[in-house]
Amino acid sequence: MTIEKIVIGTRGSKLALWQTNWVRDRIRTFYPDMEVEVRIISTKGDRVLNVSLPKLGEESKGLFTKELEEAMLDRQIDLAVHSLKDLPTELPPGLHIGAISEREDVRDALVARGGITSFDDIPEGARVGTSSLRRQAQILAARRDLILDPVRGNVDTRLGKVDSGEYDAIILASAGLRRLGLEGRITQYIPREFMLPAVGQGALAIETRSDDSAINEVVGKLDHEPTRQACRSERALLKGLGGGCLVPIAALGIIEGDRLSLKGLVARADGSEIVRGEAEGPRGEAEVIGLRLAEDLLERGAGRVLNR
């Protein structure tokens, strides 16, 4: 190994820094003499907080990744750490996912004000914060009596909106709360049967230059093969449906032995129609399984739902 120093690019939020520092520390366990620098880079997603994600439309592509990717292509940084669910399925030429970390808890989490102990306890007409169309669709399919409002900002900002009474409850990824040591704020882990997670939820993606063999050798030590295969199937499903992170699409791949099972859904944002499906096969055929499920969902009406 001839590398003496690695520069990791990251967003500046508390969660992004936790994730990046975790990757830094893992690299140091394998290469204790290597210098690892963390460099904060502001993305458009960090700066534009007064517009909900769905309203940004096409501008949302690469919202949390573009500036990091540009810095990598300019060789200002050697790699970037992302929440995999934020990473588009199509990456810029010259970049790829060098490693995917072992997954945290994939479930969504309910954080609610005092008196509410579960999703079923949320009173009629309560105000629930979420900027995810995926969550919105699944909530409204079960509880059309709730008022859903977009909520942006970092984790502390969102929690503060519950504490101040601005929202009765918010929905967040449990992985982020657990990584920040805030699992005590979780009112309920929402069952996957009720709310299927986002593609790649709970996993970290380490993005690198495709041709940088030395860096790829380093980050390859952090790759968790079962998580990679599960997430490959989910991302293949998303790509096959032609969707992105702003479309109400959910998926979860699960590895059991040599088999991979994949659940997916496509929904209208108002929850009035949901198309669900499942596929399974050998874990080594992750992308084939994802594309097969995408074809099945499209044949059963997912294309019509997405076009609406």
Q: Active-site residues: which are they?
A: 86
Q: Residue 57 in 3-state DSSP?
A: helix
> In the sheet where 127-129 sits, what is the strand order?
147-149, 127-129, 169-173, 108-112, 188-189
Q: Is 308 exposed, middle or buried (0-12, 13-18, 19+ CB in 10 A)?
A: exposed
Q: How many CB atoms lie within 10 A of CB 222?
A: 19
Q: How far apart are CA 286 and CA 292, in angstroms?
A: 10
Name, in order, each residue with C-beta under 8 angstroms of 192's C-beta and a sequence gap of 6 or more.
Answer: 106, 107, 252
Q: Which two tokens stand for residue 127?
A: 């105000």
Phi and psi angles of residue 8, each rounded to the nearest 5 degrees, phi first: -100, 130
Q: How far apart are CA 115 and CA 123, in angstroms?
A: 10
**Residue 23 · residue 179 · CB < 8 Å:** no
Q: How many CB atoms lie within 10 A of CB 258?
A: 9
Phi and psi angles of residue 182, each rounded to the nearest 5 degrees, phi first: -110, 20
Name, in order, each residue with C-beta under 8 angstroms of 93's C-beta and a sequence gap of 6 or more.
Answer: none
